[in-house]
Amino acid sequence: MLTFTEKESLMRHLKNLKNQQVSIGFVPTMGALHNGHLSLVQKSVADNDITVVSIFVNPTQFDNPSDLEKYPRDLEKDISLLEPFNSKLIVFTPSISNMYENGLTSDTYFFDNLENEMEGKHRKGHFDGVATVVSKLFEIINPNKAYFGEKDFQQLQIIRKMVAQNGQKVSIVNCPIVREDNGLAMSSRNERLSTKEREEAAIIYQTLKEVKEKFHSENIETLNKLVTERFLPYANMQLEYFEIADEETLKSANSKEANKKYRAFIAVFIGGVRLIDNIALY
């Protein structure tokens, strides 16, 4: 497994591979790898000759300095989890200065308002930071395919939009959410939960499943109330938002229309840890 810490040498190496018609898959990550990330790596390794995994905690997508500071980092463990993929893998671990040569700023993007819904409302500048770093990484790696998990469904739709707007050739592959045994969506942030919080966090997916079961028989207002009620008994949890939204536009829905695909989205604070999840309602 090759590891690169500088984009210049990685670009030279990939150029050689591309000249030999080698197909490149790309899995962008911020490290603290778990089985969700490994499922993306597995898919990419199966689909492509070589997979590049980037490990880079991107400062520009954090609106909260303490969240950035507390974001789990364990490069040694990450590398050991990737080692079994061996010769099929290249790991890219750039420094902040190598990625942001002209200063730590994001570009400003417009994605037909996808960026202003849900996470965009609650995390100022988040998607500008994500789009900035992902476009830098796409420029460096120039992959044939890039793999994104559905846990960050809004991010996935925004990356699709970005690629379409820029006429980029990379195909975006979405991969299903991987869950812990109790249903909690796998996330690097789960590491910051206590054992009790991790158990209690099962209520998030239980509630989403209940919404899915009742989606055809109940109206959206009733479902919104139901979700608020489900979190009331938990003094240590704050429901930041719950929305049923059109999967394409991500606009919150108050009523159901035929021929539209809906998805339920949720963000919850447990202790100081912010968790998100979503479920398709079809």
Catalytic residue annotation: 37
**Per CB under 6 A, which of residues 29..58 are in contact with ligand PAF?**
29-30, 58
What are 5's two structure tokens?
A: 């810490």
Which of 89, 80, 93, 3 lies closest to 46 in space, CA to CA?
Answer: 89
- Closer to ligand PAF by Cβ: residue 30 or 223: 30
Q: Measured from the CB of residue 94, what is the shortest distance to ligand PAF in angstroms?
A: 12
Member of 78, 119, 150, 152 binding ligand PAF (CB under 6 A)? 152
DSSP 20: T
**Per CB under 6 A, which of residues 98..137 are in contact with ligand PAF?**
130, 133-134
Q: Measured from the CB of residue 163, what is the shortest distance to ligand PAF in angstroms?
A: 13
Q: Measured from the CB of residue 89, what is the shortest distance to ligand PAF in angstroms?
A: 16
Quote the distance between the C-alpha of residue 254 and its chain's center: 26
Q: Which positions ≥6 away from 93 have C-beta within 8 Å?
A: 3, 4, 5, 54, 55, 56, 75
**Region near ligand PAF per CB under 6 A, out of 24-32, 115-123, 139-147, 231-239:** 24-32
Q: Measured from the CB of residue 57, what is the shortest distance to ligand PAF in angstroms?
A: 8
Q: Does 150 bind ligand PAF (CB under 6 A)?
A: no
Distance CA 127, CA 107 (A): 10
Site of interaction with ligand PAF (CB under 6 A): 28-30, 58, 61, 130, 133-134, 152, 155
